[in-house]
């Protein structure tokens, strides 16, 4: 790791101003991705701006229609928060499936979403649950947030402050985890918003997306066997040492089918 300046601001304004003044700055959330990247010298920032002292980025606000979660909230807090468990149980169960205990105690919601790792779990929930991403200056719809491999709609210097998820009538997350890291080889979140089905997918393509062809079929009939003939020609499937594109396409069908079976049983 190369030498860098470390800062720990206590407000968003201070963090933004430090970012503007530094030569090659980067924000630090839980550090679960950033620190190994710096150790491997894949990133060598001049200034690391630790966001963990900004209280404005903490807290969970639950209402009947939405759940708003501060970007610094770690995965284990989301897994174990009683209000999230009762209002948006799918998000708690998704968080429980992330990595291991150490990763869940350090990794943050904001860091995971900002990173847009193609195999991360939360992105499926952001697109499926009609989430809104809040930054210092604006809101960004979850539908347009993930743009490409490790690329989001965030501008340089922009900080995710919180994420607000809409509460569906019922929802299920299914993932096929990599046995070593627990990252999703493919993960799907199927949500039912009073009869409107949304399918969020992670792991399958360069970034999370909604499987709109599947949604169209499922919105006609919520039948686990209704997707068999669907080719998903619009999806560019990832192919790497963990799984071929063909295997991921098959997994996507299997996981959505399992999710529908589970969703229907929630009635």
Residue 225: φ, ψ to 5°: -95, 5
Query: Interface with ligand FAD by CB under 6 A: which range of 1-9, 111-119, 165-173, 206-214?
Result: 111-119
| CA atoms of 162 and 55, how far apart (whole Å) | 12
Tell me whether residue 133 is exposed, middle or buried, using C-beta atoms within 10 angstroms of its C-beta: 0 to 12, 13 to 18, 19 or more: buried
Query: Segment 24-43, which members bind ligand FAD (CB under 6 A)?
Result: 26-34
Contact residue for ligand FAD among 81, 87, 115, 238 (CB under 6 A): 115
Which position among 9, 70, 107, 142 is part of the footprint of ligand FAD (CB under 6 A)? 107
Q: How far apart are CA 160 and CA 73, in angstroms?
A: 12
CB of 122 to ligand FAD, least distance (A): 6
x-or-dash string of contact with ligand FAD, 48-67, rule CB under 6 A: ---x----------------
Of 108-116, 139-147, 203-211, 224-232, which segment contacts ligand FAD by CB under 6 A? 108-116
Return the ∠ at Cα 110 (arms to 105 and 111), rounded to 5°. 70
200 binds ligand FAD (CB under 6 A): no
Residue 134 lies near ligand FAD (rule: CB under 6 A): no
CA atoms of 209 and 200, how far apart (whole Å): 6
- Please identify which residue in 9, 70, 111, 205 interacts with ligand FAD, judged by CB under 6 A: 111
Which listed residue (12, 60, 103, 232) binds ligand FAD by CB under 6 A?
A: 103
Q: How many CA atoms lie within 13 A of 59 on its CB side?
A: 7
Burial class (CB within 10 angstroms; exposed 0-12, middle 13-18, buried 19+) of 108 = buried
């Amino acid at each position: 790791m190369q030498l860098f300046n470390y800062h720990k601001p206590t407000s968003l304004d201070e963090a933004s101003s430090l970012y503007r003044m530094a030569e090659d700055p980067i924000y630090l959330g839980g550090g679960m991705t950033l620190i190994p990247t710096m150790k491997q010298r894949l990133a060598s920032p001049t200034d690391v701006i630790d966001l963990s002292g900004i209280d404005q980025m903490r807290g969970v606000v639950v209402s009947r229609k939405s759940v708003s979660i501060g970007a610094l909230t770690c995965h284990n807090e989301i897994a174990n928060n009683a209000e999230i468990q009762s209002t948006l149980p799918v998000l708690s169960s998704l968080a429980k499936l992330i990595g291991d205990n150490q990763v869940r105690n350090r990794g943050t919601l904001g860091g995971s979403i900002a990173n847009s790792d193609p195999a991360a779990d939360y992105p499926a929930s952001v697109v499926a649950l009609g989430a809104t991403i809040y930054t210092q200056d604006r809101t960004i719809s979850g539908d347009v947030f993930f743009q490409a491999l490790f690329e989001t709609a965030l501008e340089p210097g922009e900080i995710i402050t919180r994420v607000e998820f809409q509460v569906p009538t019922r929802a299920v997350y299914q993932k096929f985890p990599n046995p070593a890291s627990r990252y999703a080889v493919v993960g799907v979140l199927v949500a039912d918003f009073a009869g409107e089905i949304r399918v969020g997918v992670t792991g399958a393509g360069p970034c999370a997306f909604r499987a709109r062809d599947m949604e169209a079929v499922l919105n006609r009939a919520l039948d686990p066997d209704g997707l068999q003939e669907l080719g998903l020609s619009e999806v560019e499937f990832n192919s790497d040492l963990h799984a071929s594109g063909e295997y991921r396409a098959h997994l996507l069908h299997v996981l959505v089918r399992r999710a529908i079976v589970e969703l229907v049983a929630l009635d």
